[in-house]
Structure 1
């Protein structure tokens, strides 16, 4: 029987909330995993028990996301930041094998920059060199102030290169609260129809903060999808990769042709050939994420979570809109580009934001302060945040609005 363990509601952006039932189940595994008499943090990653768990974890991801046999599922470390480098090095190796005569100037990397994380990814690509890094579109140009990441740019502004070594986008920008729309017909959806045609497009997607919150649109059309686990499915220390087979290349052969050498630990071929066990993986993080994904399957899988996440986001944005009408809240993202997972807004007035955050914390709701680079309030609505917990926040927001109106009336 679960107890609350004195827990608060965690609206933090990551490491984020995990289901209490999984945390309780993990307690048992920390002491005795799969009847081995050893805890999961002690057991060999080469043991048959851990291998069986890893295989099941992979199957649960493949089944729920409907990952086709053309793609491998790999597990590694380094988080999304590690993949900023890995995707560049592996895709440049692929491109060199396909076009050995191409110079660095001829080798183009396309980056769609819609927020802080895609901006950092593009910066890392430039730092690594060996290619021409091109910004397909920069969302700041289309913002209300010309500086903020607050929108998905119009499709007419996207202009992909004819033959890029990679095309990179971040599906959900955790810091800025901007996400490509879920409706394929929306002007804020990712413009798949504008991608180069009649080729295996080297499309890369950072799904770190929206992985497993809903199905991935046109998953099979991606070359690489990656996600740090510490948002929706597990603790920090694990990165999940979905890699198309043609992107698992011999990086040493590419280096002989002039491509940059790829550290073995960053090579997708190394990971694939070793079944993600080239080195000691993040055993505990894999275990807990595996428990989460198994629980998701038992609850009805992604259709269930998509519907619940839709309701949570709709309720919260309705509450923000009500606060806007009353001059207390101000949304930071243009309508249609808002994230389901990370809702951001400002509380207007001298000292009002601190008052809002302090009041929420007194009621057991933590992790609501916006990222240090942008400020404001950020509400992260990951899978483990329940609809009832969101309702509690919305009730608090309504009381805050009422109190603000009373103060204004008294003044």
Structure 2
């Protein structure tokens, strides 16, 4: 490892740091993969060498998360943003094609279904906007589906989570799906891990039979996913904890894999966005993102060898707690502002502001850069400071950041 890499602490929100040992192994594979004399970026995605890579990546993810056989794992492209549309198209198709229930009025199969969105930050807001735009664009006079915002924390500036009484799910049989974002990268808001903590997602309030969809992009493989068998679709951009950008993981219940060409489908689904097409082709309907999948296979292997997700949860929990404790001391000194409610704080993306407005922020960032603390500037849409604590960010790097925060607070509070 180069001296410069050892002295640099990368807190970027994505693309994120990758384990140094993985990058070192990949260096050799770029020139000669598996003794073939051909680099990993040059091998055929149809060849036996890559077939083993994608098989290992899938098996590793399935094992780490204990994904049941009822669900398929897909490797696709376009980032989480493409899934905003894919979810709508595939889930509306499933809703239209599933057998009519004898326990609900037939008219519900004809009337436009609802799409239930929980909006807790920038990404869930973007997802709901795309859902509304897509259905209105295709049929502006008779929308294919109707957007129902189940809960919305925008009035708080996306700094908290909905209370149980805030949720307004559509009645049983009326919604094609329920959608939420488990961790909001930009706003630093995350649902608690379990089901009993304040702010936890209310699985029990989701009507029986309504598919549940979740964006896990920023926390995927940072800890186990509670109630994983309750989800019908989970997707995650892999550039946070798994690989370089260019790969998205989709976990989908097999029941939802419906034919894109079925005449009952209310919206045409491009083949490349069809979950069934991807599943039937083993994620090789077209050329997949070979290198990111290769890196993913290496990362999941490393996770399995180093304590699995239970071990990773413990490390990530320590990192987040230590950083928040340091920031709380800065709050007491009047140098730091922590606006996200405690029960809603993300342990992957920690956001805060410093006193002094833009000038204070510039001083903080300049001092951080001088110490090798990189990519701490908050998202351009909200400003401030953001430290992303993904799996490859070491406890040593977090300790270096905490030391600098303590130093900055002491200097600014004189």
TM-score of the two chains, using structure 2 as the length reference: 0.93
Map of 1:51-90 to 2, 5 A cutoff? Answer: 51-90=51-90
Map of 1:173-252 to 2, 5 A cutoff? Answer: 173-197=184-208, 199=209, 201-252=210-261
2:388 alignment counterpart: 380
Choose which of 110, 116, 130 in structure 2 pairs with 1:124. 130
Instruction: Say which SS state the counterpart of residue 165 (structure 1) adopts.
Output: strand
Tell me the distance in 1 between the aligned counterparts of 2:223 and 2:26.
25
Choose which of 271, 277, 282 in structure 2 pairs with 1:270. 277
1:284 alignment counterpart: 291
2:153 alignment counterpart: 139
Instruction: Say which SS state the counterpart of residue 95 (structure 2) adopts.
Output: helix
Q: 1:245-285: per-residue Cα shift (whole Å, max 9, x none)?
A: 111111211xx125111000000010000000110000011
Q: 1:103-160: per-residue Cα shift (whole Å, max 9, x none)?
A: 675311000000000000000000111200110000123x2xxxx1101111111121
Map of 1:5-404 to 2, 5 A cutoff? Answer: 5-6=4-5, 8-98=8-98, 102=108, 105-129=111-135, 130-141=144-155, 143=156, 148-162=157-171, 163=173, 164-197=175-208, 199=209, 201-253=210-262, 256-350=263-357, 351-404=359-412
Shift of 1:5: 4.7
Tell me the distance in 2 between the aligned counterparts of 1:258 and 1:72.
21
Choose 182-191 or 273-282, whichever is displaced more: 182-191
Shift of 1:405: 2.3
1:409 alignment counterpart: none
CA contact (8 A) 1:209 1:232 kept: yes
Q: Name stretches of at least 5 consecutive residues in structure 2 with no aligned partner.
A: 101-106, 136-143
Query: For residues 120 and 286 of structure 1, do their structure 2 counterparts lie closer, same or farther at Cα, with a shift above 3 Å needed?
Result: same
Query: For residues 280 and 353 of structure 1, do their structure 2 counterparts lie closer, same or farther at Cα, with a shift above 3 Å needed?
Result: same
CA contact (8 A) 2:220 2:236 kept: yes
Shift of 1:3: 3.9
Query: For residues 189 and 401 of structure 1, do their structure 2 counterparts lie closer, same or farther at Cα, with a shift above 3 Å needed?
Result: same
Structure 1 stretches of 4+ with a deviation exceeding 2 A read 2-7, 99-106
Query: For residues 183 and 258 of structure 1, do their structure 2 counterparts lie closer, same or farther at Cα, with a shift above 3 Å needed?
Result: closer
TM-score of the two chains, using structure 1 as the length reference: 0.94
Query: For residues 376 and 234 of structure 1, do their structure 2 counterparts lie closer, same or farther at Cα, with a shift above 3 Å needed?
Result: same
Instruction: Say which SS state the counterpart of residue 241 (structure 1) adopts.
Output: strand
Query: For residues 67 and 50 of structure 1, do their structure 2 counterparts lie closer, same or farther at Cα, with a shift above 3 Å needed?
Result: same
CA contact (8 A) 1:105 1:132 kept: no
Instruction: Say which SS state the counterpart of residue 342 (structure 2) adopts.
Output: coil
Instruction: Say which SS state the counterpart of residue 352 (structure 2) adopts.
Output: strand
Shift of 1:368: 0.4
Tell me the distance in 2 between the aligned counterparts of 1:299 and 1:316.
23
Instruction: Say which SS state the counterpart of residue 252 (structure 1) adopts.
Output: coil
Pairs aligned (count): 396
Instruction: Say which SS state the counterpart of residue 336 (structure 1) adopts.
Output: helix
Tell me the distance in 1 between the aligned counterparts of 2:320 and 2:111.
44
Instruction: Say which SS state the counterpart of residue 316 (structure 2) adopts.
Output: helix
